[in-house]
Each structure stands twice: as structure tokens, then as C-alpha cells.
Amino acid sequence: MRVFSPPADDMTISLDVKVPMLHEFHSYLYQPDWKYMESKEKDRQVLEDFPTISMEFRNLSKVYQDVISDICHKMGVGMAEFLEKKVDSQREWDKVSQPGHTQHQ
């Protein structure tokens, strides 16, 4: 799930781009040519060379693809929710920053 760090942590990607990207990230696994070239962060290679990640993913058995895609979808939605969340108190911060917060059903 290392592929989520660059888009989620990259402060050079605006929320207007980042949030939809995170919502759709699981679908990019199936797109052989998808890549993102606008990142300025040190881990941008993951996004720039995403066709290689996609190829390896698509070489997996369908059962593994389904599990990975489902996890990526849940993580992407959770990360987007976290990025859009306005935190007004320490209690809210504690809630959204807990491990497993991004694993919605």
C-alpha cells in the first residue's frame, strides 16, 4: 500500500486534484497507462512510474487483484475523508488519526 503515500502526503498536489485522485486510485491499478507527472515531492517516482505498478498488479491472479483493489478503494476513500476533515478539537484529531481510521466498511 506504499503507493498511497505520494498522493496523500504530497503538499504540491492541490486538494482539488488529490481528493478525486484518492477516490479513484484503486481504478488506476487497472489502467496500463495511468501516471501522474505533476508531483514535486521526493517520492514522485511512484506516481510517474505507475504503469509498472499497474502491470505487476494486472499480472496477479484475479483473487489477489480483487483484495488489493478493495483495500486500495477503502484506503483512498478514508484518506480523502481525512484530508477534507476539519478538525476542531484534540478529541476529533485523536479519532481521525487512529490507526485503522481509513478502513471503513
pLDDT at 105 over 50: no
Indicate whether 102 belongs to any domain.
Answer: no
Indicate whether 83 belongs to any domain.
Answer: yes
Is residue 39 within 8 A of residue 10, CB to CB? The reply is yes
Overall number of domains in the chain: 1
Indicate whether 50 belongs to any domain.
Answer: yes
Amino acid code (one letter) for 25? F
Indicate whether 90 belongs to any domain.
Answer: yes
Contacts with 30 (C-beta within 8 Å, 6 or more apart), sequence order: 54, 57, 58, 69
Per-residue pLDDT of 31-76, as tens digits, reads 999 999 998 888 889 899 999 999 999 999 999 999 999 999 999 9
Residue 4 phi, psi dihedral angles, 5° rounding:
-80, -25
pLDDT at 42: 83
Domain of residue 47: give its range.
2-96
Regarding pTM above 0.85, the answer is: no
pLDDT at 36: 94
> How many other CB atoms sit within 10 Å of the CB of residue 102?
21
Indicate whether 105 belongs to any domain.
Answer: no
For the chain, the average pLDDT equals: 84
